[in-house]
Amino acid sequence: MARVLAVLLAVLAVAACTADPDATSAGGTRFVVDIEGTRVTVPERPERVVTLSEPTLDGALTLGVTPVGTTTGRGQSGVPNYLAGRAGGIPLLGSVAQPNFEAIGKARPDLILVDGTSINNNPPVIALLRKIAPTVYAGYAGGDWRVTFGYVAEALNRAERGREVLSGYDARVSTVHGRLGPRLAETYSVVRWQGSSASLILKELPAGLALTDLGLRRPPGQDRIGRGHSEPVSLENLADIDADWMFFGTLGGSSVGNPDAGGGAGVDAAREALAEARAVPGFTALKAYRGGRIVPVDGSLWTSTGGPLLMNLIVDDVERALTGS
């Protein structure tokens, strides 16, 4: 409690020195109800948005809003790798699991967007953020990306544009599905390789949802909902990651709590991890490996979380890998 109080006092001091008293009233205000049922007064036209997770950053960028601050991606020292081209210049205000309250206050936000992937079951943190600016809790950890995106769009007063984005995604999925033909009869695994061990991305996470949307089947052992994050697989049970095809990504040796541990997240990092995986007993015996059907992918895209930009890029990867175009 003493630590929380100290942080609160620091935040209040920063907010008092940096906040613009007219920031939330310029252009008027409106009410939104977030996913937890909290009624939040937000600017009618937010101009200084802070996003504290991959899904909220992805959603804001999708809707044409460039945040004034964000956090690092899971297990990464910068913005999510798949968003680096769009968000590389956005100031970092802490990591996805540890927002820097002082830096957030100095950014003078008029709206803060969070979700359960960044602030999970932590009411004191939400309370601290709401001392800085209106804060909308947009979705739960492991929740449906569409739902989170809907709350982001509503908070940004761009709900109609949000519905158009979702319709566009559905149309794209339908087109790609129609091109897959015989590939629909095969099975697909999504694996995150960390160090010398594997984790499975199951059906509730974005990559799993994308495969389901496309009509792609999972192996029997993976044809299920997980716990909202990757599921570790012991080396003794390495066969559990197998399928006709495997999408294989990594976040290097890093983790949410230690993003600076080293390693990358892109396709080149996945290829390096695949080379290391070959030395693990049993890996080269996997059907996907023997068939030459392991596809190295960006781990920040396939094995983490995000919004419409992420989902469309996954669909692009699937189309390229399975149709050659």
Instruction: Report phi then psi at 103, rounded to 5.
Output: -65, -35
Q: How many CB atoms lie within 10 A of CB 211?
A: 24
> Which among 100, 27, 97 is positioned nearest to 259, based on CA atoms?
97
Return the beta strands (E) in 151-244 as ranges: 188-194, 197-200, 231-233
CB contact at 8 A, 69 and 134: no
Q: Around 162, how many Cα atoms within 13 Å sit in the side-chain half-sphere? A: 21
Q: What is the pLDDT of residue 75?
A: 81
Greater confidence (255 vs 45) lies with: 45
- Report residue 178 as tokens: 């129609």
Question: Looking at residues 16-40, what average pLDDT do you find?
Answer: 73
Rounded CA-CA distance 140/151 in Å is 11
Q: What is the pLDDT of residue 121?
A: 77
Q: What is the pLDDT of residue 182?
A: 96
Residue range 262-311, pLDDT digits in tens: 568 999 999 999 999 999 999 999 999 999 999 999 999 999 999 999 99
- Amino acid identity of residue 83, one-letter, is L
Residue range 66-93, pLDDT digits in tens: 999 999 998 888 999 999 999 999 999 9
Rounded CA-CA distance 128/259 in Å is 24
What is the model's pTM? 0.90
CB contact at 8 A, 125 and 102: no
Rounded CA-CA distance 104/202 in Å is 34
What structural domains does the chain harbor?
A: 11-162 (3.40.50.1980), 178-323 (3.40.50.1980)
CB contact at 8 A, 42 and 155: yes
Write the DSSP assignment of 81-144 as a string of letters.
Answer: GGGHHHHTTSPB-B-SSSB-HHHHHHT--SEEEE-TTTS-S-HHHHHHHHHHS-EEE---TT--
